[in-house]
Structure 1
Amino acid sequence: MSIIIENEYKGTIDIPYEKIAEEVIAAAIDYENCPYECEVNLLLTDNEEIHRINLEQRQIDRPTDVLSFPMAEYEKPADFSHLEEDPMLFDPENGEFLAGDIVISMDKVKEQAEAYGHSRAREYAFLIAHSMLHLFGYDHMEEEERKVMEKRQEEILTKTKYTRDERGLI
């Protein structure tokens, strides 16, 4: 597993963001039974930059907490059976599946942790779990999809102990 983290956030990050990213990404890969070693790109930024990306990529003129850019298209979420048909989805050097890119606003991590009454570590872990599910083809546009995603997110966070009652209070 390769996680390429680009930290362009100018503020202070007072959580072990690299460790949390590694734990949650690995847990999501295991949880979804992905048969490949994966590469995930993670960009940490601020509200201004994520607003710009959100406008450019999704034509939504506001900052958001997290953006997910999966490399693969899935007929069904986490159906990895067809991926080898597209060699462009794999790094030619190391053979890893190029799962996609995650962009997180660290400003939103701070704002939302305070608003929801839990730690920044828990909020950051939640956004990564949420985004990993998007990278594996899950969505939450319909009510049933939302329920499935929420259940899976909670199970990943429970597995990594980034819950409100454990490390989530750190």
Structure 2
Amino acid sequence: MNLTVDLQDKTESLTDDQQQIVMDIVKKGTEMEGLAGEVELSISFVDNKRIQEINRQYRDKDQPTDVISFALNEQDEEELDIVSEDMPNVLGDIIISVPRIQEQATEYGHSFERELAFLTIHGFLHLLGYDHETEEEEKEMFSRQEEILAEYGLTR
């Protein structure tokens, strides 16, 4: 498996070590989810104003949020599934609010790094089709998040 992550810190506030945590947790998630071949995704870190604009534009919610994912592998029944061994598996885009990382880390009583990894893996799992619309889906997704974080070594 070859993983390519286009990481952009538009806030210019994440340290090199924090950016490495992002890369490492995505790699751990990719391994634990059994992805193979060429895998690509992008992760952007933004401020609350920008994530609110995105949330308003794409989700009709005029408020900042912590993480938004745009999966490129989701398709309607009418869409063709274009898969080739020569093409990378482009998962999609994850957008994370840096101020919300800090707010939620404080609120939940854990480190900035733990919340950073949590939101990253949460967005990553959304790209793979996990969701939390129902109680059963939420239980499955949040359990998987905790498994990946624990395997990586970041627990509450």
Gaps of 5+ in 2: none
Match of 1:139 in 2: 131
The CA deviation at 1:71 is: 0.5
Matched-pair contact (CA < 8 Å) for 1:41–1:101: yes
Distance 2:113 2:100 in 1: 12
Match of 2:64 in 1: 63
The CA deviation at 1:85 is: 3.8
Distance 2:151 2:70 in 1: 24
State the superposition RMSD in angstroms: 2.1
Gaps of 5+ in 1: 76-83, 165-170
Alignment partner of 1:151 out of 127, 136, 143 = 143
Closer/same/farther in 2, CA of residues 16 and 110 from structure 1, 3 Å limit: same
> SS state of the match for residue 150, structure 1?
helix
Residue identity opposite 1:107 in structure 2: P
> SS state of the match for residue 39, structure 1?
strand
Q: Given the two structures, how large is their TM-score scaled by the length of structure 1?
A: 0.82
Match of 1:48 in 2: 49
Instruction: List structure 1 segments (4+ residues) > 4 angstroms apart after TM superposition.
Output: none
Match of 1:4 in 2: 6
Distance 1:37 1:122 in 2: 27
Identical-residue share of aligned pairs (%)? 37
Q: Given the two structures, how large is their TM-score scaled by the length of structure 2?
A: 0.89
Distance 1:50 1:156 in 2: 25
Give the number of equivalent residue pairs: 151
Closer/same/farther in 2, CA of residues 44 and 115 from structure 1, 3 Å limit: same
Distance 1:74 1:119 in 2: 36
Alignment partner of 1:123 out of 115, 118, 128 = 115
> SS state of the match for residue 16, structure 1?
helix
